A and B are shown apart, each in its own frame.
Chain A
């Protein structure tokens, strides 16, 4: 009966498990999905980004990061830091205000929501009466001015959010002294902008959307100046000394206004349409910064000629005769200027412009001639071309690390040398224990190398495989070089480029050997490239071979894409990884598995038709094996299944539309009728539920059969030096697992090093195992005599691993989507198994061996399997006994792309995509945690420094 006992009753083991495993989602890398608002505090030198899903993220010096989430998951419309405080206010699209603060807690700062508030009008008033359009946190730090759609400005006390009714600035009061004819034309209008006077905190500038601008005296509660603008107003900005301000307008013009005590109703100083005379788009935001040399910087968003350039997302910087219109790759959400905030300084002297576009963050150095971009240390746009695969390599040797950085620095010469200007807070996290690389493959045929050691995912080096091939697009013509007198002076900035010239270039599999610097990448059109790291530019011919994976099959027709055309003759490659071998699979189906053995100098690759082994030392194809079932027409013909998937994706998108309809209803609902909306939603849900019951989803129950489609699809390839034929001699071997539950083992004969070039590598099939449950084989692993997984190639040679035990008997672990099975070697007999799917109804999506160290004792660590299932759960399964240790819910099971994108590290961490542009990092280990830990201290506050203000504090309403 002992076998019936449930596992996990051993108290010693239970205690050990607590010391080994722990699940945390630690940090989000990359660029926030759908950003909607930007804020900056020159006082804290922190930047805040809000998103459409209600997240708010703060960034300072590299490593200083905070994240908060609004409960409502509503779009963040505006973010305003409270002057000289560790506090900020967010405005959501449900018209609610939220006060967040950074508080220190056990040594590190934390971002917490303190209060929330929704402005309520008198009973019976329309919702627009209290719809907030502009927010001004006053430099006195204890009140917020809230401009509304009705034109009234409400005053609320901080931090209590108590409305000070007697201080409300009504539009009636403002309009009292406005000339009759002007007043008649434009009655109640919404408040477009609120700006505090830079020198006199008792005066605020109020801009109404129809063009009227009023300087309001808070002490006397009356308007002192009226500026009668004739154009619809977009935004306002004060000059530093408060003697002038600038307004920008819907017709693409901006206007300077003087402020003096003698003229209460001044005329504009200057009115300019910078990209006229033809109709222009609105200038939605403008900055005016003074410099020592007298020439101001005027920086504005938009204003492009409507007809020819109306689709550009531009920000123009004008400084004397210099003018550049930075042309962004996606919509500009908001931007701010970093300038000298010393209260004693006479001039602004702007140093950098920070632009949040929808898909990337761009920082422009305004100090350096030519205004180059600054390379951001975080917020990298992972999705500048869609991510198609990822590969993680732990513990990179210093030598390789430096060579990659040096190759990358040669690519980054066009970036500014300016130190990162947003540098608030202090990173107090311990230095990362090792150097880790995350490699992402992209749709455009590039591989990006990211420093994944710490909290900041930083781009080190970008590799492009495009040069090897002949494609329609010339890789050199993407930079648009403009002539001297080109107008408008557009300049493209940013790296986001989601449009792939040729989808066949997409990278599907990556394998990097960190000891030898060999890199293998494989792509969508059956291309396999083997590369070597070279510190110099070089021009050479790439050896080219073809692997016909369908040798015996006749009379088929491949209906998929053609193979890529290669360039003849030598190709020039920049320093970094340079390809020297190209193998093209025939038919050119997508490469589904890849393995590289840097010691034996062999690369193995598989597609839906079969697999092959290539000797990249002798540049010779060793063998190919067709795994295709002859009747498998679908796999034969290639991605014809697209028809099917198109249907599926259409269906999915309809579902998505329906779902988004529900959520948009939720969003639109104002504060007053929230319960009503909820009710409506509930009813809607119920309706859809009933609808579902009418046409139920059915699932077919059928055993897998050898005749199923895509059984020959090669899912995994694995090199091992093990006992394949007899227990006295071990030999190199190649293992392959297919979708149909077949495992092939080939015995390899690799000539010794001194004769490596003279004798051919030989391979002979030694075993073929058919799992009778026929589920796809997703992992193959050999355990040595001590039940330890075999080390990676060259790991032992570099003294980084104990040499494997070649005395005891080896074991083979085959992981299918449904089961884990251990077999003995060389005579294959089944030893152990874990039927995961039969027990739990989940299937294995990703599996890897991870080393877990104990947080209590330094000298204990063990190898386990980290498994991600199709339900998004992560399970840890012990080796070699296949006992389930622990299970954590990690990814929503509906998040198919998140599950598909997951990569585990060798030390119990992992990454998965939470959006096309963001990786969530998680940790299963108690010992290896990479998470932000930082402190934001309040800088010393001098009594009179409320005078200096940032441009962002009263930022635009628009997002």
Chain B
């Protein structure tokens, strides 16, 4: 189930790996089994334990082989850190409240020294006017263009990730008519169009949708023959993970399919057959799978929790146990309560990562727009 760890069974004979962890001025050293690194949450708990800071919110970072300081905040990058650590895994821990986000980055190779000094002396850093975006762990995909390789070039399939953001979707649709080429010549057919983008809304901020784009599909369902109200309802029903296929009014910015620089890889490579329905379907089902976080339950006026999936079928057995584990750790108070606070409506991502089918962003080959 877990991703194969490239070089996991590395040079170290016994498969153990040394970890050097630094918090403030204090260092701790311990070892981990490289082949069974466990989960990030456990690792996080372990760090808190060894540094004796059980109730402090911290950010965890590590230096990779290039010397870049990279964050560890989920299972994926944790496993990545473990698998690439050679020979030592260097961990840097900062308090969340005085964390310096700009210290992280892939381009820190050249500023390595600076980075470290920044971490050590955060006050120093004030001179540099960095653009503070947000905490790395809060990065979430906002929108993406998907299925570039299976769609005609004139079409664009856009995914808007509403969850985790307070931004409104922010667009309007209307009835209209478009011209189609049919066996009987050109024909005017009714269609649904984007009529307005709300300034500051998710739709506008992505830059992927524009006024007068014709809506062709909503989450894989064709809209032709459906009324404006039906399409509205479909979009709202899918609003937490909306996938709209449009024919952009402006056809000049279309993704050129042959350049594979960003268009496809990972998942998409498997499905690079000329647009065949099962693949589209599979994509959408996966999309649905992903938006499956959803509902929350409060039992006996306790903490709000996410409703798990029932009846482990063979393929999802493991994910279920993981979720169960997670709940245990929640109850034992390992996690700081703010981590579990869903009240802001931003529940999903932590859990989602555990979904075995989940494709991390780089694998997806999707274009991320902020």
A residues neighboring B (CB under 8 Å)? 1, 3-4, 692-693, 696-704, 706, 725, 765-773, 775, 818-819, 821, 823-824, 828-831, 835, 837-843, 870-871, 893
Contacts and interface: CB of A to CB of B under 8 A. Distances in A.
Nearest to A771: B295
B317 interface: no
A4 B281 contact: yes
Contacts of A841: 221, 223, 226-227, 229-231, 233-234
B186 interface: no
Contacts of B295: 769-772, 821, 830
11 contacts: A696-B176, A701-B172, A702-B168, A704-B236, A768-B297, A768-B301, A771-B294, A773-B240, A818-B233, A830-B307, A841-B221
Interface in B154-203: 162, 168-176, 195-196, 203
A4 B239 CA distance: 23
A696 B169 CA distance: 21
Contacts of A770: 295-298, 304
B311 A831 contact: yes
B293 interface: yes
Interface residues of B, number: 52
A701 B232 contact: yes
A699 B282 CA distance: 30
Interface in B269-327: 278, 281-282, 285, 288, 293-301, 304, 307-311
B116 interface: no
Contacts of B173: 698-699, 701
A839 B221 contact: yes
A838 B238 contact: yes
Contacts of A772: 240, 293-296
B150 interface: no
Given A4-B285, A701-B173, A772-B240, 13 more contacts: A4-B282, A701-B171, A702-B170, A703-B236, A768-B298, A770-B304, A775-B237, A830-B294, A830-B295, A831-B309, A831-B311, A841-B226, A870-B229
Contacts of B297: 767-770, 828
Given A829-B307, A843-B233, A699 B172 contact: yes
Interface in B80-99: none
Contacts of A829: 307-311
Report, nearest first, the 3 A-B pairs whose CB atoms are least far apart.
Answer: A841-B230, A703-B239, A837-B237
Nearest to A826: B299
B340 interface: no
B268 interface: no
B300 A699 contact: no
B219 interface: yes
B353 interface: no
B8 interface: no
B151 interface: no
B38 interface: no
B278 A4 contact: yes
A704 B239 contact: yes
Nearest to B244: A701
A830 B309 contact: yes
A725 B173 CA distance: 46
Chain A: interface secondary structure?
mixed
B24 interface: no
Contacts, number: 142
Which one of A765, A819, A829, A837 has the greatest number of beta carbons of chain B within 10 Å?
A: A829
Nearest to A814: B295
A4 B284 CA distance: 11
B310 A769 contact: no
A843 B295 CA distance: 19
A701 B239 contact: yes
Contacts of B32: none
B287 to A, nearest CB: 11
A345 to B, nearest CB: 63
B235 interface: yes
Given A702-B169, A838-B237, A841-B234, A697 B299 contact: no
B345 interface: yes
A3 B311 CA distance: 16
A881 to B, nearest CB: 13
B109 interface: no
A355 B297 CA distance: 62
A842 B230 contact: yes
B349 interface: no
Contacts of B255: none
A831 B309 CA distance: 6
**Candidate in B221, B227, B237 with the most chain A CB atoms within 10 angstroms:** B237
Contact of A837 (B172, B233, B307): B233
A919 B175 CA distance: 34
A706 B175 contact: no
B228 interface: yes
Nearest to A775: B237
A306 to B, nearest CB: 52
Nearest to B308: A829
A175 B286 CA distance: 89
Interface string B94-138: 000000000000000000000000000000000000000000000
Contacts of A828: 297, 299, 307
A766 B298 CA distance: 8
B174 A697 contact: yes
A478 to B, nearest CB: 44
A706 B343 CA distance: 10
B174 A699 contact: yes
Nearest to B311: A831
B201 to A, nearest CB: 9
A710 B229 CA distance: 21
B69 to A, nearest CB: 35
Contacts of A870: 229, 233
Nearest to A769: B297
A838 B219 contact: yes
Given A828-B307, A830-B310, A773 B172 contact: no
Interface in B236-267: 236-240
A240 B169 CA distance: 80
Contacts of B232: 699-701
Contacts of B300: 725, 765-767
A455 to B, nearest CB: 36
A3 B239 CA distance: 24
Contact of B237 (A1, A699, A818, A831): A818
Nearest to A841: B230
B195 A698 contact: yes
Given A698-B196, A703-B240, A767-B298, A871 B230 contact: yes
Contacts of A775: 237
Contacts of B240: 703, 772-773
Contacts of A700: 172, 232
A828 B298 CA distance: 10
A840 B227 CA distance: 11
Contacts of A692: 175
Nearest to B219: A838
A704 B195 CA distance: 20
A23 to B, nearest CB: 21
A604 B279 CA distance: 49
Contacts of B233: 818, 837, 841-843, 870
